[in-house]
Amino acid sequence: EQYGASPVAGAWRATGTPKQQYLTVSTRAADPCDTGVQHAAGVGERLVLNADASGDAAAHTLPLTLDAAVAGGWVRGSCIKGMGTHFFLSLTDAAGAPRPRGRMELPSWRVGDVLPITVMFDEYGTRRVSAFFAFSGDVQQGFFAANQWDGIPLTSSLWCLNTCTKSCSLDEWFVSTMHLFVADEPSKITCKPNTCNTGFGQRCCESW
């Protein structure tokens, strides 16, 4: 859940409480609360944003592999060791519009124009999804509690280190993030040698 912002079409959904929105990411098609269904081991078999949504908050099937992300029009960002290679999806493009290999730009980096779920992949290992994070243009952390979000909000410039473009400039001063990992051992996720800056998070960008 996020508090303080307006619903984002195709993403954050109104809860009925003023200034409070939510989104969901489901990992299984079956109802996880159905005691009559036996689930296989592991996190699940899919990642679907707002699976039960319709209309303006239509569901998004998130890619499970890097190749599926490229084919689905997601834009490649930076690789960060222990997380993976970041991919972003525009909410202003035609749905699923493929981009040429090498494209690292979105038409707009405004918070409301980017799907608020960023997906990461183990590009130099399994090439499967390793993690994802939700983000909000309104600070969700309090002075004494993170409210289940990451410990501290990021400045716009720090958030943009997830991308590989100098044109990233969010329209908010701070962004809150909430990371969730699905890889068995995130610490083993690496990036391509000789493409990393030595700064925050060992950010790695390469031409492709």
Each residue's pLDDT tens digit, 66-112: 999 999 989 999 999 899 999 999 888 655 455 555 567 888 889 88
By the 8 A CB rule, do 69 and 127 touch?
Answer: no
Considering the entire predicted model, what is its pTM?
0.87
Separation in Å, CA 162 to CA 4, 33, 76: 24, 35, 9
Under 8 Å between Cβ of 84 and 190: no
Per-residue pLDDT, 191: 87
For residue 68, the one-letter residue type is A
**Interval 165-175: pLDDT, tens:** 888 888 999 99
**Residue 198, pLDDT above cutoff 60:** no
- Where on the phi/psi map is residue 67: left (φ > 0), alpha (ψ -120 to 50), or beta? alpha
How confident is the model at residue 105, as a pLDDT? 82
Q: Which residues contact 79 (CB under 8 A, 6 or more apart)?
A: 85, 86, 123, 124, 191, 192, 195, 196, 203, 204, 205
Closest CA to 29 of 21, 17, 37: 37
The whole-number pLDDT of residue 165 equals 87
CA distance 160 to 3: 22
21 touches 1 (CB < 8 A): yes
